[in-house]
Amino acid sequence: GQQVMQIPQYQHVQEGEDFTTYCNSSTTLSNIQWYKQRPGGHPVFLIQLVKSGEVKKQKRLTFQFGEAKKNSSLHITATQTTDVGTYFCAANFGNEKLTFGTGTRLTIIP
Contacts with other proteins, residue ranges (CB under 8 A): 6, 9, 30-31, 33, 35, 41-45, 48, 50, 88, 90, 92, 94-103
Q: What is the DSSP letter of 81?
A: G
Q: Give the Cα separation of 96 and 61 in Å (integer).
A: 28
Rounded to the nearest angstrom, the gap between the alpha carbon of residue 102 and the centroid of all alpha carbons in its chain is: 10
Residue whose CB is less far from other proteins, 15 or 45: 45
Nearest distance in Å: CB 78, other proteins = 27
Q: Give the Cα separation of 34 and 84 in Å (integer).
A: 15
Residue whose CB is less far from other proteins, 17 or 98: 98
Residue whose CB is less far from other proteins, 6 or 79: 6
